């Protein structure tokens, strides 16, 4: 789970989304707005609807790797997830900032559940299905608004996530909730995929170093760089670099890996986002 690059929509598309949103917001009761949000989303979110053609194109461009899911990075993020459920937060139904490229599995895991810190008490609170949501900030880390890796650390070689902050802090609580809620450690397929990605990134960097030492043309090296940054599981790549740059006791194999290719420590997948 990595932070997605910031991208805006064309004004025409934003205006269209705002118009549909206004049709929901104008209704007097929460029950009416909830019903309208569901029906309007179903009616408008079509593959042939021009506004959603643009929305899908840009979400695909900012998705990690090969159009990966923003939450698990494993499957294709070919559905539009509402970070805040549209059946709870009807005023976010057609808000661009609330759209996240996600896979069907992660959407099912989220299942319209939203946990917040209540604005009035600061306490954890699960937003209820059939009443106007209370004011508060979400506990789940938003991959379009925040950098998840400020909260989460990926441990090698286990490839399991853990909170960066100390237990008892809000940062720890948000990280643990995100890991547990999205089942980032308990879905075995995700952990296996991260382990495989760890091996793949190492192999790709070794290939880069070999060709660099062979003094191949610069364009060939840049192509290898673009290929690496276009792979899924960029969270693994980011944490490989972070381990060398920031950990007091980095893994010796990673220190050796980046030797003679220190420039790779600055590579970031946002560079290949068009």
Q: Is the pLDDT higher at 15 or at 231? A: 15
Q: How confident is the model at residue 274 (pLDDT cuts 50, 70, 90)?
A: very low
Query: Whole-prediction pTM value?
Result: 0.90
Distance CA 154, CA 242 (A): 10
pLDDT band at 65 (very low <50, low <70, confident <90, very high): confident
Do 191 and 200 meet the contact criterion of CB atoms below 8 Å apart?
no
Give the start-to-end residue ranges of the domains of the chain. Answer: 11-182, 188-272
- Our CA dihedral for 76, 199, 208, 68, rounded to 10 degrees, sits at 10
- Which are the contacts of 160, defined by CB distance < 8 A and separation ≥ 6? 154, 185, 191
CB-CB contact of 243 with 250 (8 Å): yes
* Confidence band of 67 (pLDDT split at 50, 70, 90): confident
pLDDT of residue 74: 85
């Amino acid at each position: 789970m990595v932070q997605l690059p910031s991208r805006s929509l064309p004004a025409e598309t934003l205006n269209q989304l705002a118009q549909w949103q206004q049709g929901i917001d104008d209704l007097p009761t929460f029950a009416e707005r909830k019903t309208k949000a569901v029906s309007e989303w179903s009616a408008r979110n079509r593959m042939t609807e021009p506004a959603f053609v643009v929305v899908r194109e840009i979400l695909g461009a900012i998705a990690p790797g090969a159009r990966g899911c923003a939450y698990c990075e494993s499957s294709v993020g070919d559905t539009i997830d509402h970070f805040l459920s549209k059946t709870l937060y009807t005023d976010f139904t057609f808000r661009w900032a609330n759209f996240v490229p996600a896979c069907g599995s992660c959407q099912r895991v989220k299942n319209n559940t939203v946990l917040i810190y209540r604005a009035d008490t600061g306490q954890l609170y699960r937003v209820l299905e059939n009443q106007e949501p209370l004011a508060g900030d979400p506990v789940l880390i938003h991959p379009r608004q925040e950098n998840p890796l400020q909260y989460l650390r990926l441990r090698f070689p286990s490839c399991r996530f853990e909170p960066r902050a100390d237990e008892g802090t809000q940062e720890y609580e948000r990280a643990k909730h995100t890991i547990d809620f999205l089942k980032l450690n308990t879905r075995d397929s995700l952990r296996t995929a991260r382990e495989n990605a760890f091996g793949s990134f190492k192999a790709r960097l070794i290939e880069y170093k070999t060709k660099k030492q062979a003094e191949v043309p610069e364009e060939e090296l840049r192509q290898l760089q673009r290929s690496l940054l276009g792979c899924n599981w960029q969270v693994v790549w980011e944490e490989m670099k972070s381990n060398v740059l920031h950990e007091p006791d980095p893994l010796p194999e990673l220190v050796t890996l980046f030797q003679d290719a220190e420039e790779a420590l600055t590579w970031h997948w946002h560079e290949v986002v068009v």
